A and B are shown apart, each in its own frame.
Chain A
Amino acid sequence: MIKKRLIGVVTVKDGWAVQSFGYKRYLPLGRPEVLVQNLDRWGADEIMLQCIDRSRPDRGDVGPDFALLDRVAKLGIATPLIYAGGVRTADDARVAVNMGADRIALDAMLRDDAQEVAKVGYQLGAQAVIAALPMTATDDGAQWRDYRTGKDEPLSDAVRSMLDDGVVSEALIIDHANEGNPGAFDPRVLDAGLADHVPLIAFGGISEAACVTDLLKREQVDAVAIGNFLSYREHAVQAYKEALVGVPVRPATYHRTIYA
């Protein structure tokens, strides 16, 4: 059977891997390539490389960090790679895939150009396209955060349609306010008004195995993404997996065990 996934996230700012706290405060961790290599070695189910400063209005749209993607690709990792950050056009997405990314997560483009999103899906297949949705939990349901303006609003019908109609395959729901804050993930962010059949990836402040278990037991949640908390010890991915009871994930491997 298809397994639920544990995704290791490497957040990159100014070319350096950082420990992020609510996307407001950052501590340097080192070279992103080293973290990616660790996650690959530890058997993460997918790795997401998110470059968070590639389409900020104050910096100009600098586009994807192809130089970093190239360095990561040269590592020859054998783990599926999701790239996020600065993808402006279908061509950007295609180049990123040619360089070694397996899937692309889009955020700004969802707001800026729905037609271009459809073009990415057409060219790469919708299965390769993820909608990255920073959400803010409120008592009235989750609000969609525009990270460029800092404003919250209900998720647009256009984005809901993209997910409903299968233009993109999964929604990465980011609890942006609690990101980097241990045990702080607020499950209310998952209440974004998306149809029940839209697969979700939960991210932001997820640190405890019990929380990962609860999330992955939800039918709609196909994957959980973890950032900082995987950087604290060796083989953290497998340690999480060992603690997940009753959840269909690939077993902990520790290098040698490769059977499902």
Chain B
Amino acid sequence: MSRRKTVGIVDYGVGNQASVWRALHKLDYRCRVSDDPKKLDETDILFLPGVGAFPTAMEKLHEHDLVEYLQGEAHKGKPFVGLCLGMQLLAEQSHEHGLTAGLGLIPGEVVPFPGGGWHIGWNAIEQLGDDPLFAECDGMAMYFNHSFIFDAPDEYRVYAARTEGSFPVGVRRGNLVGMQFHPEKSQAAGRALLSALVEGLCK
């Protein structure tokens, strides 16, 4: 029987840590919600949630002295998942409210949603490539609520969604994964994905 995994949820004062905690807790993972690197070190995988605007989120990460820590953990190979705005923070930079540098962990930049406006509601995700980590949830509907997207190079894209055209909604670079939607609020489909991510990345 596999060991019960411990998930570190990065608490930097922006967003929905509580919802992410509850979703993972219900999946029977131990969770540590903290901005303290010592506590986050005691975990198997990091989740970086986020709701709101990119510049505010980066400012908060700096305020909490978490930027270098997160970059260091990513480079050391610790499994690391960014959700929604947390995914966008993995990028090199964002154009939301001007230009702001991101964590720079996955090449690419955050740009306005194609055609402007928003992407709100339930949409199916389609797997790009053949990474087995993402196969289980291919075609499932997830809940989106965003107005910017992470325009990552093709080789890092693992999921796309469609409105008029197709756009990336999932990225992976080694131990780093980003999901533009909210698996914690995507009912059974979201639970399946969260479980696949924790189990798949912590092997």
Query: Could you tell me the dominant secondary structure of chain B's interface residues?
Result: mixed
A80 and B143 form a contact (CB under 8 A): yes
- On chain B, the residues within 8 Å of A97 by CB distance are 15-16, 51-52
Task: Tell me if A67 is interfacial: C-beta within 8 Å of chain B.
Answer: no
Query: Which of the segments A27-35, A108-116, A124-132 contacts the partner chain?
Result: A124-132
A169 and B141 form a contact (CB under 8 A): no
- On chain A, the residues within 8 Å of B71 by CB distance are none
Task: Tell me if B190 is interfacial: C-beta within 8 Å of chain A.
Answer: yes
Chain B interface residue count, Cβ-Cβ cutoff 8 angstroms: 46
Given contacts A78-B184, A100-B16, A124-B51, contact A166 B117 (CB under 8 A): yes
For this complex, 7 residue pairs linking A to B, each with C-beta atoms less than 8 Å apart, are: A2-B120, A2-B123, A78-B188, A80-B145, A98-B15, A103-B145, A170-B120
A258 and B189 form a contact (CB under 8 A): yes
Task: Tell me if A56 is interfacial: C-beta within 8 Å of chain B.
Answer: no
> Which residue on chain B has the smallest CB distance to residue A99?
B18
Task: Tell me if A71 is interfacial: C-beta within 8 Å of chain B.
Answer: no
Task: Tell me if B118 is interfacial: C-beta within 8 Å of chain A.
Answer: yes
A interface list, Cβ under 8 A from B: 1-5, 40, 43, 45, 73-74, 76, 78-81, 94, 97-100, 102-103, 122-128, 166, 169-170, 197, 199, 222-223, 250, 253, 255-256, 258-260
A128 and B52 form a contact (CB under 8 A): yes
B18 and A127 form a contact (CB under 8 A): no
Given contacts A5-B121, A80-B182, A259-B141, contact A100 B18 (CB under 8 A): yes
Separation of A123 and B54 alpha carbons in the complex (Å): 9
Task: Tell me if B23 is interfacial: C-beta within 8 Å of chain A.
Answer: yes
Q: Considering the complex of A and B, which 6 residue pairs feature the smallest CB-CB distances, nearest first?
A: A260-B124, A260-B141, A76-B22, A258-B188, A127-B118, A3-B122
Please pick, from A1, A80, A98, A259, the residue contacting B162 in the complex, using a CB distance under 8 A. A1
- On chain B, the residues within 8 Å of A125 by CB distance are 51-53, 85, 145-147
B51 and A250 form a contact (CB under 8 A): no
Please pick, from A4, A74, A258, the residue contacting B121 in the complex, using a CB distance under 8 A. A4
Task: Tell me if B105 is interfacial: C-beta within 8 Å of chain A.
Answer: no
Separation of A253 and B189 alpha carbons in the complex (Å): 11
Q: Find residues 102-160 in chain B having any chain A CB closer than 8 Å to their own CB.
A: 116-124, 139-141, 143-147
Task: Output the least CB separation between A244 and chain B (Å).
Answer: 14
Task: Output the least CB separation between B14 and chain A (Å).
Answer: 8
Task: Output the least CB separation between A149 and chain B (Å).
Answer: 31
- On chain A, the residues within 8 Å of B116 by CB distance are 166
- On chain B, the residues within 8 Å of A123 by CB distance are 52-53, 56
Which of B25, B56, B124, B145 has the most chain A CB atoms inside 10 A of its CB? B145
Task: Output the least CB separation between A87 and chain B (Å).
Answer: 15
- On chain A, the residues within 8 Å of B23 by CB distance are 76, 78
- On chain B, the residues within 8 Å of A256 by CB distance are 188
B122 and A260 form a contact (CB under 8 A): yes
Separation of A1 and B119 alpha carbons in the complex (Å): 10
Task: Tell me if B17 is interfacial: C-beta within 8 Å of chain A.
Answer: yes
A124 and B141 form a contact (CB under 8 A): no
- On chain A, the residues within 8 Å of B97 by CB distance are 122
B53 and A122 form a contact (CB under 8 A): yes
B187 and A43 form a contact (CB under 8 A): yes
A98-B15, A259-B139 known; 6 new pairs, CB 8 Å cut-off, are: A1-B162, A3-B141, A98-B13, A126-B147, A169-B120, A258-B188
Which of A5, A199, A250 has the most chain B CB atoms inside 10 A of its CB? A250
A128 and B51 form a contact (CB under 8 A): yes
B145 and A102 form a contact (CB under 8 A): yes
Which of A80, A123, A199 has the most chain B CB atoms inside 10 A of its CB? A80
> Which residue on chain B has the smallest CB distance to residue A69?
B18
